[in-house]
Amino acid sequence: MRGLSTLLRLGPALPSVLALGGCLLGPDYVRPNVATPATYRFATSEAADIANARWWEQFQDPVLNDLILAALADNKDVKIAAARVDQFLGQFVTTRSALFPQLSAGFDASRQRASQAGPTPLLPGVGPVFNEFQAPLTAAWEIDLFGRVRRETESARASLLASEEGRRATILSLVASVATAYINLRDLDAQLAIAKATTDSRAGSVKVFEARFSGGDVSQMELAQSQSEYEASLATIPQIETQIAQQEDALSVLLGRNPGPIPRGSGLSELAVPAVPAGLPSDLLERRPDLLQAEQNLIAANALIGAARALYFPSISLTGLFGSVSGQFSKLFTGPARVWSYAGSLTVPIFTAGSISGQVRQAEAQQQQALIQYQQSIQIAFQEVDDALVALQKSREQLVVQGRQVDALRTYSRLARLRYEGGYTSYIEVLDAERSLFNAQLSYTQTNGVVFNSLIGLYKAMGGGWVVQAEDMTGPVMQQGAAAQGKNEAATEQSR
């Protein structure tokens, strides 16, 4: 992609050299005025502008870092986006080539027999069979006097840049998707640990009640209640294990691999909580790839208006030929065999039955669509940032409240069991306390995952200059792939 920037820097200068001082029809692009809010609706007092850094490293989980690097190297969507950039690069080069004279060379050889009974008799001494050899060099050049080709080149260049921003948007989405999938996986791991711990605890209670029931100390109803709660928590284990396997498969596809196990690093509660990115809302216009892509699409559509309007004006072309024609190959490159010609042509549309005006109208309508899509993309971007900020703020508040609820229910469960052992209450109160604690622990873990996912969503919504580092990041990954895969497999076995 580095050669792309060099080629694009040359692009605007070459047409001006070759246009022979011609004019450019159609409107020149001016970025439309966009109303941006002065601040985000949901701000944060601990904001730090790290959106341009590799934010996922702030979680301080080496396994997550390795997974993201592996995804950048092998994800199929990223490779498709890179190939699409190459496609638009070829389109740009092809379109721009019309600004230059087109040269071609050839060689023709033929042997033929003329009719001796035709209307034109052969000259005396001339046989009916003869050879012909040609070695022509031809040139053709359409003078872009009214800027049609230059506008088409401007549009192709903008489309190329839009495809590059699309590739960056794919990278941005991929990193956020991998991080989100990993957080969800660790969240499910935490839920599975809670379910297994609760099931083990209830299994112990069932054994105690079975012994007490055999001794006549408790009724069969209390034993059945204990067994029911044990089976309820036991039933949640395969459900969570199914979700874990499905999450691993989804994450494997993001990594560009076949479905399989995923290595684990830090637990959800062990992950560091990074700072919240900040900045002015207007910054989004300069660093979100999807907004930059929408603007380049607008530039491309704007340029095509001029290309369509240029069809109203004359088309001027120059052609030339230089070469040799001979009936004998040995005399092909001698002076008498030399031929040459040059010509100029001018074509002016007189009546097209609305064909050109229709093309102009179509180009103007496409420009309006691109403008509205650009404005809509900006509004959606502001919405996504605001949504992510409020989700982060409110999920953090919810997590604090649920943490206090878990502590209170843990105390309630302990006291309820003491009251039951002392004969002051029925076992129903114990079951209610343990059931409430189990559900609260699962909810707390899920909310903790929501906090991290809200952070990831905020980083994605803010865009960030770190995307341009992706090319440098994926370089060494290919050499490190085998070693990293071996290390990840070892970590997977340990997590099992």
The number of beta carbons lying within 10 Å of the beta carbon of residue 221 is: 11
Mean pLDDT of the chain: 84
Answer whether 0.75 is exceeded by the pTM: yes
Residues 79, 455: Cα–Cα separation, whole Å: 27
More confident residue, 191 or 220: 191
> In whole angstroms, what separates CA 309 from the centre of its chain?
35
Is the model's pLDDT at 23 over the cut of 80? Answer: no
More confident residue, 425 or 190: 190
pLDDT recorded at residue 258: 93
Q: Concatenated DSSP letters for 402-413?
A: HHHHHHHHHHHH
Is the model's pLDDT at 182 over the cut of 70? Answer: yes
pLDDT band at 19 (very low <50, low <70, confident <90, very high): very low
**Would you state the structure tokens that stand for residue 278, as one six-digit string?**
């900040």
Task: Decide: 172 and 71 in contact? Cβ < 8 Å.
Answer: no
Q: Collect contacts of 351-355 with beta carbons under 8 A, ≥24 apart.
A: none
Over residues 36-45, the pLDDT tens digits come to 776 666 555 4
**Would you state the structure tokens that stand for residue 435, as one six-digit string?**
């059931």
As to burial, measured by CB atoms within 10 angstroms (0-12 exposed, 13-18 middle, 19+ buried), residue 432 is: middle
| Domain boundary assignment for the chain | 2-102+146-314+361-495
As to burial, measured by CB atoms within 10 angstroms (0-12 exposed, 13-18 middle, 19+ buried), residue 227 is: middle
More confident residue, 200 or 33: 200
**Would you state the structure tokens that stand for residue 272, as one six-digit string?**
């560091």
Helices (H), 271-354: 284-287, 289-309
**Would you state the structure tokens that stand for residue 232, as one six-digit string?**
């309820």
Choose the weakest-confidence range: 8-12, 219-223, 249-253, 324-328. Answer: 8-12
> In whole angstroms, what separates CA 29 from the centre of its chain?
26
Residues 164, 155: Cα–Cα separation, whole Å: 14
How far apart are the two ends of the chain, measured CA to CA in Å? Answer: 41
345 CB-near residues (< 8 Å, 6+ apart): 316, 317, 319
Residues 100, 141: Cα–Cα separation, whole Å: 7
Residues 292, 297: Cα–Cα separation, whole Å: 9
Question: Shortest CA distance to 321 belongs to which of 6, 54, 103?
Answer: 103
pLDDT recorded at residue 399: 95
According to DSSP, the residues that pair with 248 across neighbouring strands are: none
Task: Decide: 276 and 48 in contact? Cβ < 8 Å.
Answer: yes
Summarize the confidence of residues 436-443 as an average pLDDT. 94
Kindly tell me the sign of the dihedral angle through the C-alpha atoms of 419, 421, 425, 430: positive
Second-level CATH architecture of 2-102+146-314+361-495: Up-down Bundle (1.20)
Is the model's pLDDT at 496 over the cut of 80? Answer: no
Is the model's pLDDT at 194 over the cut of 70? Answer: yes
Over residues 67-112, the pLDDT tens digits come to 999 999 999 999 999 999 999 999 999 999 999 999 999 999 988 8
Task: Decide: 88 and 163 in contact? Cβ < 8 Å.
Answer: yes
Summarize the confidence of residues 10-14 as an average pLDDT. 48
Choose the weakest-confidence range: 51-60, 215-224, 279-288, 417-426. Answer: 279-288
Q: Which amino acid is at 294?
A: A
